[in-house]
Structures are given as structure tokens and as C-alpha cells.
Amino acid sequence: GDSVTQMEGPVTLSEEAFLTINCTYTATGYPSLFWYVQYPGEGLQLLLKATKADDKGSNKGFEATYRKETTSFHLEKGSVQVSDSAVYFCALTSGGSNYKLTFGKGTLLTVNP
């Protein structure tokens, strides 16, 4: 079945540091890939997505590239801010007749001033 593996947290960085959160996946067919962010006490917000190989999703300074050859979708940001502190989830849908999101376990990011 489908699965998503993302790096264990927590990750603690200083403001303006570079961020990478690794994500790899196993899926049938050609999945769509997503990063969601969850701020304390809130639901999930879509951060970015990519729907085919070599697509790059980007939003709010975050980027991730769909790498079919390495089945990866790593999240990066060049300079994090305190306001980026949240839990980040990598997820996929296989499409076809099954549109459920399969999530990684989430990575807690804390950015210190």
C-alpha cells in the first residue's frame, strides 16, 4: 500500500537558518504529492503541491521538487522565521478511484529568535 516516510523531529533552528525536511514515499501509479502545515490548535493548511515528476511546488518561501527517481519530495526553505514554527506533514494521493491522503507522521519545527 501507499506510505510516506518523513524525518523524525523535533527540528530546532535559529531564525534565518536553512531548513530541509526529508520525505520519501511508496505508491502505486503516479501519486500527487503535498506538504501541509499545522499551527498549534489549528487544522491543516495546504503549503504546496506537485502533481507530476520534476514539478516544483512553492509557497511562502518553501519549495519541494517531485523526484520520481528517488521517490522523494523534500521540503526546503532558505531562511526560516519564528512564525514558521509548526508541524509539517508530507502526504500523497494515488488518485484513480482512491483519493484519500496518506500522511507521514509529521515533523515539529521550532524556530528560535
Partner 1 sequence: EAGVTQSPTHLIKTRGQQATLRCSPISGHTSVYWYQQALGLGLQFLLWYDEGEERNRGNFPPRFSGRQFPNYSSELNVNALELEDSALYLCASSSGTGQYSNQPQHFGDGTRLSIL
The beta strands (E) that lie in the chain are given as: 3-6, 11-14, 19-21, 23-26, 32-38, 44-50, 56-59, 62-65, 75-77, 86-93, 102-103, 107-112
Spatial CB neighbours of 101, under 8 Å, sequence gap ≥ 6:
34, 91, 92, 93
Q: Which of 23, 25, 49, 62 binds partner 1 (CB under 8 A)?
A: 49
- Work out how close the CB of 109 gets to partner 1 at its nearest, in angstroms, rounded to a whole number: 16
| 54 interacts with partner 1 by CB under 8 A | no
Q: Which amino acid is at 37?
A: V
Per rule CB under 8 A, is residue 10 in the interface with partner 1?
no
Query: Is residue 44 close enough to count as binding partner 1 by CB under 8 A?
Result: yes
Minimum CB separation of residue 79 from partner 1 in Å reads 26
Contacts with partner 1, 56-85, as mask; x by CB under 8 A: ------------------------------
- What SS3 class is residue 17? coil
Q: Enumerate binding residues for partner 1 (CB under 8 A).
A: 32, 34, 36, 41-46, 49, 51, 89, 91, 93, 95-106
